[in-house]
Structure 1
Amino acid sequence: MKGRSAIRLARLQQALAGGGTLHLSEAARLCGVSEMTIRRDVAASDGALIFLGGRLVMADNPRYAPVYNVDEQQASRFSTKRRLCERAAGFVENGDTLFIDCGTTLLPLVGLLGGYRELTVATYALNVANAVSQLPHLRLILLGGLYYPASQSFGSDDIAASIHRLGINRAFVSAGGVHAERGVSCFHFHEVAPKQAAIACAAQRLLVVDESKIGQIRPAYFAKLDDFDVVITDGDMAPSPENDGPRIVAA
Protein backbone atom coordinates (compact mmCIF):
# COMPACT_ATOMS: atom_id res chain seq x y z
CA MET A 1 0.00 0.00 0.00
CA LYS A 2 2.86 2.35 0.80
CA GLY A 3 4.33 1.61 -2.61
CA ARG A 4 1.06 2.43 -4.35
CA SER A 5 0.77 5.67 -2.39
CA ALA A 6 4.31 6.65 -3.43
CA ILE A 7 3.48 5.95 -7.08
CA ARG A 8 0.36 8.12 -6.87
CA LEU A 9 2.26 10.97 -5.20
CA ALA A 10 4.99 10.80 -7.85
CA ARG A 11 2.34 10.97 -10.58
CA LEU A 12 0.75 14.03 -8.97
CA GLN A 13 4.11 15.78 -8.54
CA GLN A 14 4.89 15.12 -12.19
CA ALA A 15 1.55 16.65 -13.17
CA LEU A 16 2.34 19.74 -11.10
CA ALA A 17 6.01 20.02 -12.06
CA GLY A 18 5.35 22.87 -14.46
CA GLY A 19 3.44 24.89 -11.85
CA GLY A 20 -0.28 25.41 -11.62
CA THR A 21 -2.83 23.53 -9.57
CA LEU A 22 -4.75 20.30 -9.70
CA HIS A 23 -8.29 20.03 -8.38
CA LEU A 24 -8.85 17.21 -5.90
CA SER A 25 -11.36 15.52 -8.21
CA GLU A 26 -8.88 15.73 -11.11
CA ALA A 27 -6.14 14.24 -8.93
CA ALA A 28 -8.42 11.37 -7.97
CA ARG A 29 -9.28 10.65 -11.62
CA LEU A 30 -5.63 10.84 -12.64
CA CYS A 31 -4.69 8.21 -10.06
CA GLY A 32 -7.84 6.10 -10.38
CA VAL A 33 -8.73 6.32 -6.68
CA SER A 34 -11.16 8.18 -4.45
CA GLU A 35 -10.71 11.78 -3.31
CA MET A 36 -10.35 10.54 0.28
CA THR A 37 -7.45 8.31 -0.78
CA ILE A 38 -5.70 11.32 -2.30
CA ARG A 39 -6.23 13.28 0.95
CA ARG A 40 -4.74 10.39 2.93
CA ASP A 41 -1.77 10.11 0.58
CA VAL A 42 -1.01 13.82 0.92
CA ALA A 43 -1.51 13.79 4.71
CA ALA A 44 0.99 10.94 5.09
CA SER A 45 3.52 12.35 2.61
CA ASP A 46 6.70 14.37 3.15
CA GLY A 47 4.91 17.67 2.60
CA ALA A 48 5.93 18.25 -1.03
CA LEU A 49 2.24 18.63 -1.94
CA ILE A 50 -0.31 20.70 -0.06
CA PHE A 51 -3.96 21.60 -0.47
CA LEU A 52 -4.88 25.19 -1.23
CA GLY A 53 -8.64 25.21 -0.88
CA GLY A 54 -9.76 22.21 -2.91
CA ARG A 55 -6.67 22.20 -5.14
CA LEU A 56 -3.30 20.53 -4.91
CA VAL A 57 -0.15 22.63 -5.36
CA MET A 58 3.55 22.11 -4.84
CA ALA A 59 4.47 23.34 -1.35
CA ASP A 60 7.59 25.11 -2.60
CA ASN A 61 5.79 27.09 -5.32
CA PRO A 62 5.94 30.74 -4.13
CA ARG A 63 3.20 31.70 -6.55
CA TYR A 64 0.65 29.92 -4.37
CA ALA A 65 1.99 30.83 -0.93
CA PRO A 66 -1.18 31.35 1.14
CA VAL A 67 -1.94 34.55 3.02
CA TYR A 68 -4.16 34.51 6.08
CA ASN A 69 -6.37 37.43 7.03
CA VAL A 70 -8.90 37.27 9.88
CA ASP A 71 -11.40 39.54 8.13
CA GLU A 72 -11.41 37.30 5.06
CA GLN A 73 -11.79 34.14 7.16
CA GLN A 74 -14.57 35.46 9.40
CA ALA A 75 -17.48 33.95 7.46
CA SER A 76 -15.57 30.94 6.14
CA ARG A 77 -17.05 27.59 7.28
CA PHE A 78 -18.87 29.30 10.15
CA SER A 79 -21.35 26.46 10.76
CA THR A 80 -18.46 23.99 10.94
CA LYS A 81 -16.54 26.19 13.38
CA ARG A 82 -19.66 26.53 15.53
CA ARG A 83 -20.04 22.73 15.62
CA LEU A 84 -16.38 22.27 16.54
CA CYS A 85 -16.71 24.81 19.34
CA GLU A 86 -19.83 23.13 20.67
CA ARG A 87 -17.74 19.99 21.17
CA ALA A 88 -14.91 22.05 22.66
CA ALA A 89 -17.25 23.74 25.14
CA GLY A 90 -18.10 20.32 26.54
CA PHE A 91 -14.63 20.17 28.10
CA VAL A 92 -15.01 23.45 30.02
CA GLU A 93 -15.69 23.34 33.75
CA ASN A 94 -16.78 26.15 36.04
CA GLY A 95 -13.76 27.77 37.67
CA ASP A 96 -11.42 27.04 34.75
CA THR A 97 -8.80 29.39 33.40
CA LEU A 98 -8.88 29.00 29.63
CA PHE A 99 -6.37 29.94 26.96
CA ILE A 100 -8.22 30.73 23.72
CA ASP A 101 -6.06 31.05 20.63
CA CYS A 102 -6.30 33.64 17.84
CA GLY A 103 -8.02 33.32 14.47
CA THR A 104 -11.68 32.66 13.73
CA THR A 105 -12.06 28.94 14.47
CA LEU A 106 -12.39 29.43 18.22
CA LEU A 107 -14.41 32.64 18.19
CA PRO A 108 -17.78 30.81 18.46
CA LEU A 109 -16.50 29.17 21.66
CA VAL A 110 -16.75 32.50 23.51
CA GLY A 111 -20.48 32.73 22.80
CA LEU A 112 -20.95 29.30 24.38
CA LEU A 113 -19.45 30.40 27.71
CA GLY A 114 -22.38 32.60 28.71
CA GLY A 115 -23.72 30.08 31.19
CA TYR A 116 -20.55 30.08 33.30
CA ARG A 117 -19.98 32.48 36.17
CA GLU A 118 -16.46 31.59 37.28
CA LEU A 119 -14.24 31.52 34.22
CA THR A 120 -11.04 33.34 33.33
CA VAL A 121 -10.09 33.66 29.66
CA ALA A 122 -6.52 34.48 28.62
CA THR A 123 -5.93 35.44 25.00
CA TYR A 124 -3.62 37.44 22.75
CA ALA A 125 -6.36 37.84 20.12
CA LEU A 126 -8.24 41.11 19.89
CA ASN A 127 -11.36 39.55 18.33
CA VAL A 128 -11.54 36.97 21.12
CA ALA A 129 -10.95 39.64 23.79
CA ASN A 130 -13.70 41.83 22.34
CA ALA A 131 -16.15 38.93 22.45
CA VAL A 132 -15.20 38.01 26.03
CA SER A 133 -15.61 41.65 27.09
CA GLN A 134 -19.31 41.40 26.20
CA LEU A 135 -19.72 38.77 28.94
CA PRO A 136 -19.04 40.87 32.06
CA HIS A 137 -19.19 37.91 34.45
CA LEU A 138 -16.09 36.40 32.79
CA ARG A 139 -12.62 37.56 33.77
CA LEU A 140 -10.43 38.58 30.82
CA ILE A 141 -6.64 38.55 30.61
CA LEU A 142 -5.44 40.23 27.41
CA LEU A 143 -1.83 39.41 26.59
CA GLY A 144 -0.41 42.48 24.87
CA GLY A 145 2.46 43.63 22.73
CA LEU A 146 2.78 44.75 19.13
CA TYR A 147 -0.52 44.48 17.26
CA TYR A 148 -0.65 42.42 14.03
CA PRO A 149 -3.74 43.45 12.02
CA ALA A 150 -3.79 40.44 9.67
CA SER A 151 -4.42 38.05 12.55
CA GLN A 152 -5.94 40.62 14.95
CA SER A 153 -3.48 39.45 17.59
CA PHE A 154 -0.58 40.71 19.71
CA GLY A 155 3.01 39.55 20.04
CA SER A 156 5.92 40.44 22.32
CA ASP A 157 9.22 39.05 23.55
CA ASP A 158 7.80 38.33 27.01
CA ILE A 159 4.40 36.92 26.02
CA ALA A 160 5.52 33.35 26.73
CA ALA A 161 6.69 34.30 30.22
CA SER A 162 3.33 35.96 30.87
CA ILE A 163 1.51 32.78 29.90
CA HIS A 164 3.77 30.61 32.04
CA ARG A 165 2.80 32.71 35.07
CA LEU A 166 -0.84 31.68 34.63
CA GLY A 167 -2.49 28.54 35.91
CA ILE A 168 -4.22 27.35 32.74
CA ASN A 169 -6.65 24.46 33.03
CA ARG A 170 -7.40 24.12 29.33
CA ALA A 171 -5.66 25.54 26.27
CA PHE A 172 -7.81 25.69 23.13
CA VAL A 173 -5.41 26.00 20.22
CA SER A 174 -6.12 26.59 16.53
CA ALA A 175 -3.85 25.91 13.55
CA GLY A 176 -3.49 26.58 9.86
CA GLY A 177 -2.08 23.15 9.08
CA VAL A 178 -2.04 19.67 10.59
CA HIS A 179 0.27 17.19 8.90
CA ALA A 180 0.93 13.59 9.94
CA GLU A 181 4.68 13.89 9.44
CA ARG A 182 5.39 17.63 9.56
CA GLY A 183 3.34 18.49 12.64
CA VAL A 184 1.07 21.42 13.47
CA SER A 185 1.71 24.84 11.96
CA CYS A 186 0.28 28.32 11.47
CA PHE A 187 0.69 31.27 9.10
CA HIS A 188 2.32 33.85 11.41
CA PHE A 189 5.59 33.43 13.29
CA HIS A 190 4.57 35.74 16.15
CA GLU A 191 1.89 33.18 17.09
CA VAL A 192 4.44 30.43 17.78
CA ALA A 193 5.56 31.66 21.22
CA PRO A 194 2.08 32.01 22.80
CA LYS A 195 0.87 28.75 21.31
CA GLN A 196 3.91 26.83 22.55
CA ALA A 197 3.73 28.44 25.99
CA ALA A 198 0.07 27.54 26.39
CA ILE A 199 0.73 23.96 25.26
CA ALA A 200 3.63 23.69 27.71
CA CYS A 201 1.81 24.86 30.82
CA ALA A 202 -1.86 23.90 30.38
CA ALA A 203 -3.28 20.94 32.27
CA GLN A 204 -5.19 19.90 29.13
CA ARG A 205 -4.25 20.82 25.55
CA LEU A 206 -6.98 20.77 22.89
CA LEU A 207 -6.40 21.32 19.17
CA VAL A 208 -9.51 22.50 17.30
CA VAL A 209 -9.31 22.29 13.49
CA ASP A 210 -11.67 21.79 10.57
CA GLU A 211 -10.97 19.35 7.75
CA SER A 212 -9.51 22.03 5.46
CA LYS A 213 -6.45 22.21 7.75
CA ILE A 214 -5.66 18.48 7.61
CA GLY A 215 -2.77 17.60 5.31
CA GLN A 216 -1.66 21.23 5.15
CA ILE A 217 1.75 22.68 6.03
CA ARG A 218 2.01 26.36 6.94
CA PRO A 219 5.19 28.44 7.35
CA ALA A 220 5.40 28.52 11.16
CA TYR A 221 5.73 25.12 12.86
CA PHE A 222 4.79 25.11 16.55
CA ALA A 223 3.93 21.60 17.81
CA LYS A 224 3.83 17.88 17.23
CA LEU A 225 0.39 16.30 17.07
CA ASP A 226 1.32 14.24 20.12
CA ASP A 227 1.74 17.47 22.13
CA PHE A 228 -2.07 17.61 22.37
CA ASP A 229 -4.34 15.58 24.59
CA VAL A 230 -7.42 16.04 22.40
CA VAL A 231 -8.01 16.90 18.74
CA ILE A 232 -11.51 18.13 17.88
CA THR A 233 -12.16 17.97 14.14
CA ASP A 234 -14.67 17.20 11.42
CA GLY A 235 -11.86 15.83 9.27
CA ASP A 236 -10.67 12.31 8.61
CA MET A 237 -8.17 11.50 11.35
CA ALA A 238 -7.71 8.00 12.66
CA PRO A 239 -8.22 7.63 16.43
CA SER A 240 -4.95 7.12 18.26
CA PRO A 241 -4.31 3.86 20.13
CA GLU A 242 -4.82 4.10 23.88
CA ASN A 243 -2.03 6.07 25.59
CA ASP A 244 -0.42 6.80 22.24
CA GLY A 245 -1.20 10.23 20.83
CA PRO A 246 -4.19 12.53 21.23
CA ARG A 247 -7.79 11.50 21.59
CA ILE A 248 -9.71 12.31 18.40
CA VAL A 249 -13.14 13.84 18.97
CA ALA A 250 -15.37 14.00 15.89
CA ALA A 251 -17.55 17.05 15.41
Structure 2
Amino acid sequence: MKGRSAQRLARLQDILNRGGTIHLSEAARLCGVSEMTIRRDVAASDGAMVFLGGRLVMADNPQYAPLYDLDAEKGSHSLAKQRLCQGAAAFIEAGDTLFVDCGTTLMPLASSLASVEYEVTVVTYALNVANAVGHLPNVRLVLLGGLFYASSLSFGSEDMPQAIRRLGINKAFISAAGMHVERGVSCFHFHEVVPKQAAIASAMQRILVCDDSKLGVVRPAYFARLDEFDVIVTDGDADDALREGLPGHTPRIVGV
Protein backbone atom coordinates (compact mmCIF):
# COMPACT_ATOMS: atom_id res chain seq x y z
CA MET A 1 0.00 0.00 0.00
CA LYS A 2 1.26 3.46 -0.89
CA GLY A 3 2.48 5.73 1.89
CA ARG A 4 -0.22 8.38 1.59
CA SER A 5 -2.96 5.78 1.51
CA ALA A 6 -1.54 4.15 4.64
CA GLN A 7 -1.39 7.54 6.36
CA ARG A 8 -5.02 8.25 5.53
CA LEU A 9 -6.13 4.86 6.79
CA ALA A 10 -4.10 5.24 9.99
CA ARG A 11 -5.75 8.61 10.66
CA LEU A 12 -9.24 7.21 10.10
CA GLN A 13 -8.53 4.12 12.16
CA ASP A 14 -7.30 6.27 15.02
CA ILE A 15 -10.62 8.15 14.96
CA LEU A 16 -12.68 4.96 14.77
CA ASN A 17 -10.77 3.33 17.62
CA ARG A 18 -12.25 5.98 19.90
CA GLY A 19 -15.69 4.56 19.06
CA GLY A 20 -18.46 5.44 16.63
CA THR A 21 -18.47 5.73 12.86
CA ILE A 22 -17.39 8.14 10.14
CA HIS A 23 -19.53 8.95 7.13
CA LEU A 24 -17.75 8.48 3.82
CA SER A 25 -18.08 12.17 2.95
CA GLU A 26 -16.62 13.20 6.31
CA ALA A 27 -13.72 10.75 5.91
CA ALA A 28 -12.95 12.26 2.51
CA ARG A 29 -13.10 15.79 3.94
CA LEU A 30 -10.79 14.94 6.86
CA CYS A 31 -8.22 13.42 4.52
CA GLY A 32 -8.54 16.06 1.79
CA VAL A 33 -9.31 13.54 -0.95
CA SER A 34 -12.34 12.32 -2.91
CA GLU A 35 -14.83 9.74 -1.68
CA MET A 36 -13.63 7.39 -4.42
CA THR A 37 -10.08 7.64 -3.06
CA ILE A 38 -11.30 6.65 0.42
CA ARG A 39 -13.19 3.69 -1.08
CA ARG A 40 -10.05 2.61 -2.91
CA ASP A 41 -7.95 2.96 0.24
CA VAL A 42 -10.36 0.78 2.23
CA ALA A 43 -10.74 -1.77 -0.57
CA ALA A 44 -6.95 -2.23 -0.75
CA SER A 45 -6.47 -2.34 3.02
CA ASP A 46 -6.30 -5.31 5.41
CA GLY A 47 -10.01 -5.28 6.18
CA ALA A 48 -9.74 -3.62 9.60
CA MET A 49 -12.29 -1.02 8.47
CA VAL A 50 -15.46 -1.71 6.48
CA PHE A 51 -18.37 0.25 5.07
CA LEU A 52 -21.77 -0.08 6.65
CA GLY A 53 -24.57 1.93 5.08
CA GLY A 54 -22.21 4.59 3.75
CA ARG A 55 -20.28 4.88 7.02
CA LEU A 56 -16.86 3.58 7.99
CA VAL A 57 -16.71 1.30 11.04
CA MET A 58 -14.13 -0.99 12.57
CA ALA A 59 -14.77 -4.53 11.31
CA ASP A 60 -14.34 -6.03 14.76
CA ASN A 61 -16.77 -3.67 16.51
CA PRO A 62 -19.70 -5.89 17.57
CA GLN A 63 -21.93 -2.85 18.09
CA TYR A 64 -22.14 -2.37 14.34
CA ALA A 65 -22.24 -6.01 13.17
CA PRO A 66 -25.39 -6.06 11.02
CA LEU A 67 -27.90 -8.87 10.72
CA TYR A 68 -29.08 -9.96 7.32
CA ASP A 69 -32.69 -8.94 6.67
CA LEU A 70 -34.00 -10.46 3.44
CA ASP A 71 -37.10 -8.24 3.35
CA ALA A 72 -34.96 -5.11 3.74
CA GLU A 73 -32.53 -6.33 1.06
CA LYS A 74 -35.33 -6.68 -1.50
CA GLY A 75 -35.59 -2.91 -1.79
CA SER A 76 -31.92 -2.14 -1.26
CA HIS A 77 -30.07 -0.88 -4.37
CA SER A 78 -32.88 -2.27 -6.55
CA LEU A 79 -31.99 -0.20 -9.62
CA ALA A 80 -28.34 -1.20 -9.31
CA LYS A 81 -29.35 -4.87 -9.11
CA GLN A 82 -31.40 -4.48 -12.27
CA ARG A 83 -28.41 -2.98 -14.12
CA LEU A 84 -26.01 -5.58 -12.77
CA CYS A 85 -28.26 -8.46 -13.82
CA GLN A 86 -28.71 -6.97 -17.29
CA GLY A 87 -24.94 -7.03 -17.61
CA ALA A 88 -24.71 -10.55 -16.21
CA ALA A 89 -27.46 -11.87 -18.51
CA ALA A 90 -25.27 -11.09 -21.52
CA PHE A 91 -23.15 -14.12 -20.59
CA ILE A 92 -26.07 -16.60 -20.80
CA GLU A 93 -26.35 -18.76 -23.92
CA ALA A 94 -28.94 -21.23 -25.16
CA GLY A 95 -28.66 -24.61 -23.47
CA ASP A 96 -26.58 -23.35 -20.54
CA THR A 97 -26.78 -24.90 -17.09
CA LEU A 98 -26.68 -21.95 -14.69
CA PHE A 99 -25.92 -21.97 -10.99
CA VAL A 100 -27.73 -19.08 -9.31
CA ASP A 101 -27.11 -18.55 -5.61
CA CYS A 102 -29.36 -17.07 -2.93
CA GLY A 103 -30.22 -13.56 -1.74
CA THR A 104 -31.82 -10.75 -3.72
CA THR A 105 -29.05 -9.49 -6.01
CA LEU A 106 -29.63 -12.15 -8.66
CA MET A 107 -33.43 -12.13 -8.59
CA PRO A 108 -33.67 -9.81 -11.65
CA LEU A 109 -31.44 -12.28 -13.50
CA ALA A 110 -33.75 -15.17 -12.63
CA SER A 111 -36.83 -13.14 -13.59
CA SER A 112 -35.29 -12.13 -16.92
CA LEU A 113 -35.30 -15.76 -18.08
CA ALA A 114 -39.05 -15.41 -18.67
CA SER A 115 -38.36 -13.15 -21.66
CA VAL A 116 -35.87 -15.36 -23.51
CA GLU A 117 -36.81 -17.90 -26.17
CA TYR A 118 -34.04 -20.43 -25.58
CA GLU A 119 -33.97 -23.20 -22.97
CA VAL A 120 -31.67 -23.26 -19.93
CA THR A 121 -31.26 -25.27 -16.74
CA VAL A 122 -31.12 -23.40 -13.43
CA VAL A 123 -29.42 -24.97 -10.42
CA THR A 124 -30.09 -23.25 -7.10
CA TYR A 125 -30.41 -23.77 -3.36
CA ALA A 126 -32.57 -20.64 -3.00
CA LEU A 127 -36.34 -20.92 -2.66
CA ASN A 128 -36.98 -17.40 -4.04
CA VAL A 129 -34.97 -18.18 -7.17
CA ALA A 130 -36.79 -21.50 -7.60
CA ASN A 131 -40.15 -19.75 -7.28
CA ALA A 132 -39.11 -17.20 -9.91
CA VAL A 133 -38.17 -19.76 -12.57
CA GLY A 134 -39.97 -22.98 -11.65
CA HIS A 135 -43.08 -22.14 -13.70
CA LEU A 136 -41.22 -21.05 -16.84
CA PRO A 137 -41.60 -23.47 -19.77
CA ASN A 138 -38.09 -22.78 -21.05
CA VAL A 139 -36.37 -23.45 -17.70
CA ARG A 140 -35.51 -26.84 -16.23
CA LEU A 141 -35.09 -26.36 -12.48
CA VAL A 142 -32.75 -28.29 -10.20
CA LEU A 143 -33.47 -27.33 -6.58
CA LEU A 144 -30.79 -28.44 -4.13
CA GLY A 145 -32.37 -29.40 -0.82
CA GLY A 146 -31.46 -29.87 2.81
CA LEU A 147 -32.15 -27.95 5.99
CA PHE A 148 -34.18 -24.81 5.25
CA TYR A 149 -32.86 -21.45 6.51
CA ALA A 150 -35.75 -18.99 6.62
CA SER A 151 -33.46 -15.97 7.10
CA SER A 152 -32.15 -16.34 3.54
CA LEU A 153 -34.89 -18.54 2.00
CA SER A 154 -32.24 -21.11 1.18
CA PHE A 155 -31.26 -24.71 1.86
CA GLY A 156 -28.02 -26.19 3.16
CA SER A 157 -26.63 -29.68 3.53
CA GLU A 158 -23.32 -31.54 3.72
CA ASP A 159 -24.24 -33.47 0.57
CA MET A 160 -24.67 -30.35 -1.57
CA PRO A 161 -21.07 -30.24 -2.92
CA GLN A 162 -21.39 -33.77 -4.30
CA ALA A 163 -24.72 -32.92 -5.93
CA ILE A 164 -23.20 -29.81 -7.55
CA ARG A 165 -20.15 -31.71 -8.79
CA ARG A 166 -22.40 -34.23 -10.54
CA LEU A 167 -23.90 -31.45 -12.65
CA GLY A 168 -22.33 -29.91 -15.73
CA ILE A 169 -22.54 -26.23 -14.79
CA ASN A 170 -21.61 -23.84 -17.59
CA LYS A 171 -21.87 -20.59 -15.63
CA ALA A 172 -22.02 -19.91 -11.90
CA PHE A 173 -23.59 -16.58 -10.96
CA ILE A 174 -22.47 -15.68 -7.45
CA SER A 175 -23.50 -12.74 -5.27
CA ALA A 176 -21.84 -11.49 -2.10
CA ALA A 177 -22.42 -9.25 0.90
CA GLY A 178 -18.78 -8.18 1.04
CA MET A 179 -16.13 -7.62 -1.66
CA HIS A 180 -12.61 -6.75 -0.55
CA VAL A 181 -9.46 -6.68 -2.70
CA GLU A 182 -7.29 -8.26 0.01
CA ARG A 183 -9.84 -10.16 2.12
CA GLY A 184 -11.83 -11.64 -0.75
CA VAL A 185 -15.55 -12.24 -1.05
CA SER A 186 -17.81 -12.96 1.90
CA CYS A 187 -21.44 -13.37 2.95
CA PHE A 188 -23.51 -13.34 6.13
CA HIS A 189 -24.40 -17.03 6.46
CA PHE A 190 -21.95 -19.89 6.89
CA HIS A 191 -24.29 -22.45 5.31
CA GLU A 192 -23.92 -20.56 2.02
CA VAL A 193 -20.17 -21.15 1.87
CA VAL A 194 -20.41 -24.83 0.86
CA PRO A 195 -22.63 -24.41 -2.23
CA LYS A 196 -20.89 -21.23 -3.34
CA GLN A 197 -17.44 -22.84 -3.17
CA ALA A 198 -18.65 -26.02 -4.87
CA ALA A 199 -20.17 -24.04 -7.73
CA ILE A 200 -17.03 -21.93 -8.11
CA ALA A 201 -14.93 -25.11 -8.27
CA SER A 202 -17.22 -26.88 -10.75
CA ALA A 203 -18.39 -24.22 -13.18
CA MET A 204 -16.74 -23.56 -16.52
CA GLN A 205 -17.18 -19.81 -15.98
CA ARG A 206 -17.52 -18.03 -12.64
CA ILE A 207 -19.28 -14.65 -12.57
CA LEU A 208 -19.45 -12.48 -9.45
CA VAL A 209 -22.32 -9.97 -9.45
CA CYS A 210 -21.85 -7.32 -6.77
CA ASP A 211 -22.75 -3.62 -6.49
CA ASP A 212 -20.29 -1.00 -5.24
CA SER A 213 -21.92 -0.71 -1.79
CA LYS A 214 -20.19 -4.04 -1.00
CA LEU A 215 -16.71 -2.72 -1.91
CA GLY A 216 -14.33 -2.72 1.05
CA VAL A 217 -16.84 -4.68 3.15
CA VAL A 218 -15.97 -7.91 5.00
CA ARG A 219 -18.74 -10.21 6.26
CA PRO A 220 -18.40 -13.17 8.65
CA ALA A 221 -18.43 -16.03 6.11
CA TYR A 222 -15.49 -15.87 3.66
CA PHE A 223 -15.88 -18.07 0.59
CA ALA A 224 -13.52 -17.01 -2.24
CA ARG A 225 -10.69 -14.84 -3.49
CA LEU A 226 -11.55 -12.30 -6.16
CA ASP A 227 -9.11 -13.93 -8.59
CA GLU A 228 -11.13 -17.15 -8.45
CA PHE A 229 -13.72 -15.46 -10.67
CA ASP A 230 -13.49 -15.08 -14.42
CA VAL A 231 -15.78 -12.03 -14.51
CA ILE A 232 -16.88 -9.43 -11.95
CA VAL A 233 -19.98 -7.44 -12.89
CA THR A 234 -20.15 -4.30 -10.78
CA ASP A 235 -20.97 -0.60 -10.83
CA GLY A 236 -20.04 2.85 -9.52
CA ASP A 237 -16.74 3.31 -7.71
CA ALA A 238 -16.07 -0.43 -7.60
CA ASP A 239 -15.35 -0.52 -11.32
CA ASP A 240 -12.24 1.68 -11.14
CA ALA A 241 -11.22 0.47 -7.68
CA LEU A 242 -11.13 -3.18 -8.74
CA ARG A 243 -9.27 -2.43 -11.96
CA GLU A 244 -6.65 -0.61 -9.90
CA GLY A 245 -6.50 -3.16 -7.07
CA LEU A 246 -6.44 -6.35 -9.15
CA PRO A 247 -3.32 -6.63 -11.33
CA GLY A 248 -3.32 -8.33 -14.72
CA HIS A 249 -6.38 -9.26 -16.72
CA THR A 250 -8.05 -11.80 -14.42
CA PRO A 251 -10.80 -11.42 -13.48
CA ARG A 252 -12.39 -9.38 -16.24
CA ILE A 253 -14.15 -6.34 -14.75
CA VAL A 254 -17.47 -5.42 -16.36
CA GLY A 255 -18.81 -2.04 -15.27
CA VAL A 256 -22.49 -1.28 -15.78
Q: Report the TM-score, using the length of structure 2 for normalisation.
A: 0.95
CA distance in 2, matches of 1:241, 1:94: 33
Matched residue SS, 1:95: coil
CA distance in 2, matches of 1:117, 1:40: 40
Matches within 5 A, 1:35-114: 35-114=35-114
Alpha-carbon distance in structure 2 between the residues aligned to 1:222 and 1:14: 30
1:238 to 236, 243, 249: 243
Q: Does 1:202 align with 2:207?
A: no
2:256 is the counterpart of 1:248: no
Q: 2:112 is matched by which residue type in structure 1?
A: L
Q: Deviations over 1:139-180 (max 9, x none)?
A: 000001111111111000101111111000000000111111
SS of the equivalent of 1:222 reads strand
Residue identity opposite 1:123 in structure 2 = T
Q: Which runs of 5+ in 2 are unaligned?
A: none
In 2, the alpha carbon distance for the partners of 1:50 and 1:139 equals 39
1:14-63 CA-partner distances (Å, limit 9, x unpaired): 11112111100111111111111111110111111000010000001000
The letter for the 2-side match of 1:119 is: V
Deviations 1:73-117 (A, max 9, x none): 001111110111011111000000000010100000012112133
**1:217 and 2:222 correspond:** no
More helix as a share of residues: 2
Q: Report the equivalent of 1:20.
A: 20
For residue 124 of structure 1, what is the amino acid of its counterpart? Y
Match of residue 120 from structure 2: 119
- TM-score normalised by length of structure 1: 0.96
- 1: CA distance, partners of 2:80 / 2:140: 27
Residue 112 of structure 1 aligns with an amino acid whose one-letter code is S
Match for 1:120: what amino acid?
Answer: T
**AA at the equivalent of 2:139:** L
Deviation, 1:241, is: 5.5
| Cα drift, residue 136 of structure 1 | 2.8
Count of paired positions: 250
What is the distance in 2 between the residues matched to 1:238 and 1:67?
A: 30
Cross-structure match for 2:5: 5
Inter-CA distance 241–38: structure 2 relative to 1 (3 Å threshold): closer
Provide the rounded CA distance (Å) in 1 between the counterparts of 2:192 and 2:254.
Answer: 25
**d(CA) in 2 for partners of 1:86, 1:183:** 24
Shift of 1:134: 2.9
Matched with 1:227 is: 228
CA distance in 2, matches of 1:241, 1:201: 25
Instruction: Give the SS at the match of 1:141.
Output: strand
Distance in 1 between residues matched to 2:230 and 2:179, nearest whole Å? 15
Determine helix, strand or coil for the equivalent of 2:243.
Answer: coil
Residue 152 of structure 1 corresponds to which residue in structure 2?
Answer: 153
4+ runs of 1 displaced by more than 6 Å? none
Q: Which amino acid aligns with 1:171?
A: A
Q: Which runs of 5+ in 1 are unaligned?
A: none
